[in-house]
Chain A
Amino acid sequence: MRPALAPLVLLLALPALAQGTERHLYLDVHTFTPSLSGHYTGTSDGNAFNVDLKNDLALERDKTKLGYGIEYQGPRFGVEFSRDEQDYTGNNRVQRNISVNGQTFFANQTVISSFKATNNTFNWTIRPLVWPQFWVGIDLGVRATQVEMSAYASSGLTGIQAAADYKGTLPVPQLGPSLGFTSMEGRVVGKAMYHLLAYRGCTYTHAGADLRVFPWSWLGFRAFVDDEHFRIPKGSIKDDLDITLDRSGLGLGVVARF
């Protein structure tokens, strides 16, 4: 991390030159419906996992609840907190034995599953370079993704019913560059970011772009894209679990500006 921090420290000396960008408080509600794929393999607290979210469970989007965000954006820094939730469900005849939290579901059983992801994001954007209509910054924050997974199977052949559920949280630091702009006298506001983390064999990337249009000075619409990838090998940070998660999608929302 040290080589990466060096240019950041240099950039931190520049906010004193910042000027331009106005101070605003944003409140927004939004929907975000990312695709989901990935797998859990290994053990957690001694319980076996061996399940692929797409190939085994065939998870598909079920419903997206309204998310919300609150943020302050000023000339030198911005702070934001946002939360959103997505539900996925699956109903699939598994082609192999799979395990969820120590419970085995046998090949050829029809497994009914659900997967709920709740994301809480806190982000602090430091803006070392600010021009009247453009800025370049550094994001520093954390995004905690709480996963609730459940699976159920009832065998017509054996009469055996099995169920398993699992809840785990993946808190991931958010570090990376960001940039933004304003135009049309503040009626169009945009920003983009790329967060990257490599730690103990894990890699995490999170890229996004957010465009806001304000027909009224205090009320506007928001569209954003978000692309997130977890690669967590066994024995790194999450017990003895090998986890991959890929989420990507488009979000839409309404945003108030003060």
Chain B
Amino acid sequence: MKIGLGLGALLTMGLIGCGGNSGSTAVTGTGSTSVEVSPAGVATLSFMDLEAVRPDLLASASATLPSGITFNPGTSTYSFNGSAANAGAFNGTISFTAASGVYTETFDLTTTKAVAATASNPNPTQTWVYSGTQVITVVASGSSNTATFATPQGPITAVLTDTSTTPSTVKTYTFTPSSDPSQPLTETWTGVHPTQVTLGGSYAFKQLVLGQPVATLACAMNPSLTWIPASCAGYPNSGTLNISYTGLGVISETTGVTFGPACGEVAFDGASITLGH
């Protein structure tokens, strides 16, 4: 019996820590095609498209514009013939009128991006159409400038038509600057050719899909988005969009979209995409 107890003790003690481990993980939906049309993607990429001509560019006739954008001072029109934030073809115009530091912009922009084909759908696309009016008010104090945003003549609409789904998906979003009155959408910069541009505050998109409840995307910039035009003309070098999503019943989520460190790089919830590529 003593020997049995001893052997038993040795055998059982030997079992400590012998348990094996196994497991697996999987992440799907991180591809750019799906991320870009997700609510977080819309709140990020559409905002980048709408801010392709920032107030500091708008206020300076000699500003160096990002690639694919040209300016006709005679008609006060910016023409687009380059890449949108989702890397699709970016065409159309932003025209404006200016009076005493108040710029009224009219958007007529379209992005078209080809997405993966299938046997039954050889040429699917995701198309965004931006239209509407935005008012930028620039206040100068010495060489320092501050711009605030408004859409007094109705919101800017961003309409997605995605033909990769059957039937095609149509979603309409409305863009409103300064979703939180305590955090107005504000850009600050210094000089005619600023070395750094900062955009802070908040904005919102509302998702309008026929037959579904309205979903709201409230976006607060903290820390503020910062452009360093010398190193990254089109997109922020740093900053975070804190996006809150409410709608479709009880669903409510938040995420942080972080820009940088590479030009055009954004990351959120384990996904990473590069704007304009």
Contacts and interface: CB of A to CB of B under 8 A. Distances in A.
Q: Are chains A and B native binding partners rather than an unrelated pairing?
A: yes
B255 A155 contact: yes
A171 interface: yes
Pick the most buried of A9, A142, A158, A166: most chain B CB atoms within 10 A of its CB: A158
B22 A171 contact: no
Interface of B is mostly: mixed
Contacts of A170: 19
A167 B22 contact: yes
A171 B8 contact: no
11 contacts: A5-B9, A12-B2, A142-B12, A144-B15, A157-B39, A157-B254, A158-B38, A159-B29, A163-B27, A165-B24, A174-B12
A106 B271 CA distance: 12
B254 A107 contact: yes
B5 A108 contact: no
Pick the most buried of A100, A160, A161, A170: most chain B CB atoms within 10 A of its CB: A160
Contacts of A164: 23-26
A173 B271 CA distance: 44
Contacts, number: 143
B6 to A, nearest CB: 9
Contacts of A160: 27-30, 35, 38, 269-271
A101 B23 CA distance: 7
A142 B21 CA distance: 19
Nearest to A241: B21
Contacts of A39: none
A185 interface: no
A156 B250 CA distance: 11
Interface residues of A, number: 51
A173 B28 CA distance: 41
A114 to B, nearest CB: 13
A155 B35 contact: no
Contact of A140 (B12, B38, B251): B12
B26 A239 contact: no
Contacts of B35: 158-160
Nearest to B28: A161
A173 B269 contact: no
Given A104-B270, A156-B251, A169-B20, A12 B5 contact: yes
A8 interface: yes
B34 interface: yes
A166 B17 contact: no
A108 B23 contact: no
A237 B16 contact: yes
